[in-house]
Amino acid sequence: MSYDVMVIGSGPGGYAAAIRCAQLGLRTAVVERAELGGTCLNWGCIPTKALLKSAEVFRYASHAAEYGVDIAAGAMKADLPKMVARSRGVAEQMSKGIDFLLKKNKVEVIVGTGSLTEVPHTVAVTAGDGTTAIYEARHIILATGARPREFPSIPVDGRRVITSRHALTLTNLPESMVVIGSGAIGAEFATFFGTLGTKVTIVEYAPNLAPLEDEEISKLLERAFRKAKIAVMTATEVKQVAVDEAAGLCRVSVAGKKGEQVLEAEVVLSAVGIAANTEGIGLEAAGVRIERGKVIVDEHYRTSVEGVYAIGDLIPTPALAHVATAEAIHCAEFIAGLAPEAVDYAVVPSCIYTTPEVASVGLTEAQATERGYTMRVGRFPYTASGKATAAGNRDGMVKLIFDAETDRLLGAHLFGLNVTEMVAEPALGLTLGAKAEDVIRTIHAHPTMSEGVMEAAAAAYDEAIHL
């Protein structure tokens, strides 16, 4: 069997590449060894958001009296197995949706583990029963994604020491948990379990939580965690994790601001990044160049081997689902003979679904300073927002950074309720080269959280009405 394009992996990069290739008239197949939709839809982005929604409902119910709603004492409890079941149901529903989209676009799905071979333009697919079939394709796109990174000092056993994948299917709520790492994965699970009553300590090696975010926003997140009774240890190195089965706990040896100490917790969640799935896909056999665990590609995602491409978490670009999708569409259009614009990695939104949420795009204040910009910075606090006050969520801020010489938007950093839904506006502004005046003069609906974007822009030029 031969195809114009074969895609190995069906995550946000893989299925998007396959669909776009099919839309452009290319005979396309996608190879998937597990659930359609990859890690994001099945074991990452989507099921975590389902769990966080359950936690949000629980949190609102816990504060129902503040909204004039009476719930009888003892009538409410967090049922973790039911939350997990709902989360798995949401993931399954989304995976079925990908199946529908692939069929709609006439993309053939081949079930099995795909790998390159020594023969150019061929893919070997090994089925569950161990049989192998060889397929031919003029173009092969590698989109095999990534998995949680593991370290010898943090020995994952799936019971006491777990990764995000294990956390998604826990059925017993731990009394205590140490979360190692405060990126999106660690911060979101700290929020989820902390909301349900687990005593959570989050340990971060960097000086600030969510170390890729603007420092001011990181400090707001740390304050929110402490307010939620989530303990925070920054600038702290995890030396070793040891499991004491007899005592039913883990001992985490750390070294930080207070010297060396040992933390005890029922469960340790390792959220120390991800590792690309480069093994077992024939990279060595085909001669694909790899550096530091990532596949090296050019601006069109061509690898060192003619006819072989790589996108998403496999390559050294931001490991985000929406980045993988953007790369997939570019790659597909290039293969089809179009002339797509290069993916602009300077305009990649980042979202962390904590409580409150974090969202950002563009340069941080420190990055703008390093690049020599003279800045105008505008801030609008949620305490001045009518919608935030009505919602009972006044902990938040919108921060916009402008180039003082050109008035062009350089970066946006948001913290608060619904900010992950608001970051698209400044992202579009950055893409279009928007100036402060463009944001200020755009009428924003009232009352909305997004008014804060307009107000922050105005504040940078001392024109804010509601400050």
DSSP string, 390-421: HHT----EEEEEEETTT-BEEEEEEEETTHHH
DSSP helix/strand/coil, 57: helix
Q: How far is CA 289 from CA 129, 226, 301, 332, 343, in A?
A: 31, 45, 12, 21, 22
**CA dihedral of residues 26, 32, 37, 39 (deg, nearest 10):** -140
Q: Are 147 and 312 in contact (CB under 8 A)?
A: no
Write down the pLDDT at residue 252: 98
Q: Confirm if 166 and 189 have CB atoms less than 8 A apart.
A: no
- Give catalytic residue positions: 446
3-state DSSP assignment of residue 340: coil
Residues 239-248: b if buried by 16+ CB within 10 A, e if exposed: eebebeeeee
Reduced to 3 states (helix: H, G, I; strand: E, B; else coil), residue 119 is: coil
- Answer whether 91's CB lies under 8 Å from 42's CB: yes
The whole-angstrom separation of Cα 139 and Cα 8 is: 11
Quickly tell me which residue has 């396959």 as its tokens: 18
- Taking alpha carbons only, the member of 104, 123, 89 closest to residue 15 is 104
pLDDT score at 73: 80
C-alpha to C-alpha distance for 227 and 395, rounded to whole angstroms: 11
Q: Which residue has the tokens 């190692």?
A: 180
Q: Please tell me the distance from the alpha carbon of residue 227 to that of residue 59, in angstroms, as a whole number.
A: 14
Q: What is the pTM of this model?
A: 0.96
Q: 356: cis peptide before it, omega within 30°? A: yes
DSSP state, residue 107: P
- Integer-rounded Cα radius of gyration of the chain: 24
Residue from 406, 375, 397, 415 nearest 467 by CA = 397
Strands 176-180 and 199-203 turn out to be parallel
- Determine if residue 251 is left, alpha or beta; phi over 0 gives left, psi from -120 to 50 gives alpha, anything else beta: beta
Nearest in space to 234 (alpha carbons), one of 285, 180, 196:
180
Residue for token digits 């989304």? 94
Asked if 28 contacts 108 with a C-beta cutoff of 8 angstroms, the reply is yes
Number of Cβ within 10 Å of residue 33's Cβ equals 18
Q: Extract the tokens encoding 105.
A: 């676009």
Q: 207: how many CB neighbours lie within 10 A of its CB?
A: 12
Q: Which of 211, 220, 224, 205 is nearest to 154 (CA)?
A: 205
The tens-digit pLDDT sequence of the chain (467 residues) is 899 999 999 999 999 999 999 999 999 999 999 999 999 999 999 999 999 999 999 999 999 999 999 998 888 899 999 999 999 999 999 999 999 999 999 999 999 999 999 999 999 999 999 999 999 999 999 999 999 999 999 999 999 999 999 999 999 999 999 999 999 999 999 999 999 999 999 999 999 999 999 999 999 999 999 999 999 999 999 999 999 999 999 999 999 999 999 999 999 999 999 999 999 999 999 999 999 999 999 999 999 999 999 999 999 999 999 999 999 999 999 999 999 999 999 999 999 999 999 999 999 999 999 999 999 999 999 999 999 999 999 999 999 999 999 999 999 999 999 999 999 999 999 999 999 999 999 999 999 999 999 999 999 999 999 99
| DSSP assignment of 260-295 | EEEEEESEEEE---EEE--TTSSHHHHT--EETTEE
